[in-house]
Amino acid sequence: MTVKTLHDLHRPLGGTGLIVSPLGLGTVKLGRDQGVKYPNGFKIPDDQHAQMLLKMAKDMGINLIDTAPAYGTSEERLGPLLRGQRQDWVIVSKVGEEFEAGQSSHDFSPEHTRKSVERSLKRLETDFIDLVLVHSDGNDLAVLNDSGVYQALADLKREGKIRGFGFSGKTVEGGLLALREGDCAMVTYNLNEQGEKPVLDYAAAHGKGILIKKALASGHVCLSPGVDPVQASFQLLFEHPAVASAIVGTIDPLHLVHNVATAAAVIRRQA
């Protein structure tokens, strides 16, 4: 039996010009094991395991990789791990949240935004980042209206250092404002939480990009016996026309294969 892949299911991310796989690889587990909300503990994989995981993802048609300064050493590790493969990946990173000595802190100022992107470029060993999202602290409207972070990202886009920008927020109001003025929103949407659906609806109506975070409720989805939670989750996500890609942060090769095969089957059935 041939494993289903995502190679022929890539789609546009709104109007960014980026073409992405319907699943993206989240890399928080490559760099951070403190203060993360997963049901089971895990060990940060070594370089060999990480390299194998990235190769598997690429071979199965995943071209979107999601990282952030707040993901511990994730960006620093990805730079060397992706050497010679830059053209194969759409890289998403973030600004606004830092994680040091086990603690998160936030800074959305234009100065910090620029410094953060310049640092990410160095860490990732690249001349540009495809998409940079604001890592909101939950005060979405204040971040967007008062901090100057979006203006700083717009300047960086004009300079060619990033190709698109958007917002990873926690409220409907934040998501809507983020899409009006930016390229993309990363939204929580899963079988347990669908409160941000109006953001998806707006994106579909206005040709904006949507990435899904917590697609599998960070591994917490539980359904009645006999129902595959991954399949049920992807059915919900991919039936919405705004959803370009769901970020799934697994470091388990078997989970990765299952996620890809399930997503491919669901999307083909819905087409």
Rg (CA), the chain: 17
189 in catalytic set? no
How many Å apart are CA 184 and CA 214, to the nearest integer? 16
Q: Which of 71, 150, 189, 202 is catalytic?
A: 71
How many Å apart are CA 60 and CA 70, to the nearest integer? 27
Residue the block writes with tokens 């928080």: 28
Catalytic machinery residues: 71
